[in-house]
Amino acid sequence: MSSERLMSDGDSRYYLLKVAHEQFGRAPGELAAEQHEQAARIVARQRQIEEAVLRSPEASGVVIPAAQVEDAWASIGSRYAEGELQQALAGHGLDDAGLRAMLARELKVEAVLERVCAGLPEVSETDVGLYYFSHLEQFEVPATRVARHILITINPDFPENTRESARARIEAIAKRLRSKPERFAEQALKHSECPTALQDGLLGTIKPGTLYPQLEASLFELAEGETSPVLESPLGFHLLRCEAVQHARRLALEEVLPRLRDSLQNRQRKARQRQWLASLLQPSAPVENQAHG
């Protein structure tokens, strides 16, 4: 059956299954009433848009090869163990053929939207440069620190983790590190109660706003190779070591040129597609009066 046909109730079930997982990470039957209503509204809007696209003159002559549909099917199937996809579909009263038909329909809609963008001018280096110098604030990179971390938690249910015991334990670690700061990774592996202990206490690259404020303030005052005094947070007591300092800077135009050009080109394409879709869906040109492709 042609992918241009109007969607049946079965098609709607496929779309509801997809939207439920994409929006809420659940099957339709697991959605709360409000979530189900929201998902149904999204499906209804998708139906309206897709039917308008497939009935548009631009859809004429667009054919999706069977191999492309099979590639999309294989991509979905790769997320499941053998036989699980068919079981999942059957559990919702769906089947392979219906899913393939939905995939063919989606692929055709995407192809039509690509056709709408044919003839758009390429974004030039001059365009990219104009955008860059007009939006310099977007290319500022904040200062960061590469840090290691030791945590001793406070938990009055355990004698070794009462506030007094935890403080004494971390003070003992801090004393050892004052004489041999190079042993921080070893001490983190042996004593830290943070999961990062398995990575020798490595927190990685820390951006502003990542840690508790009292920890972050201390870390960003440390020079490379320095260790903090004992710090306290709601989790317990901490020691931080600054492994590297990366100062704030602005990305150069040459660094962002390829990615920024792609972003501007994609923005241009999305704007064209939105404008075209709006013309299809405007009240003066209702969907039912659009010519069939």
The pLDDT of residue 14 is 85
The pLDDT of residue 57 is 94
> Which two structure tokens, joined as six digits, stand for 198?
């398995």
Residue 290 has pLDDT above 90, yes or no: no
Residue 23 has pLDDT above 80, yes or no: yes
Phi first, then psi, for residue 190 (nearest 5°) are -80, -40
List C-alpha distances in Å: 99 to 50, 77, 95: 16, 11, 6
The pLDDT of residue 282 is 83
Residue 283 pLDDT level (bands cut at 50, 70, 90): low
The pLDDT of residue 284 is 52
First to last CA, the chain: 15
Tens of pLDDT, residue by residue over 58-75, are: 999 999 999 999 999 889
The pLDDT of residue 291 is 39
Distance between alpha carbon 75 and the CA centroid of its chain, in Å? 19
Tens of pLDDT, residue by residue over 241-272, are: 999 999 999 999 999 999 999 999 999 999 99
Any bridge partners for residue 237, and if so which?
A: 152, 232
Closest by CA to 97, choosing from 179, 155, 11, is 11
Residue 9 has pLDDT above 70, yes or no: no
Residue 95 pLDDT level (bands cut at 50, 70, 90): confident
Give percent of the chain with pLDDT exceeding 90. 71
Query: 101-111 b/e with 16+ CB inside 10 Å = b?
Result: bbbbbbbbbeb
Tens of pLDDT, residue by residue over 176-190, are: 999 999 999 999 999
Residue 286 has pLDDT above 60, yes or no: no
Q: Please enumerate in sequence order all residues whose Cβ is within 8 A of that of 103, keeping only pairs 6 or more positions apart, or say none.
A: 69, 72, 73, 76
d(CA 36, CA 46): 15
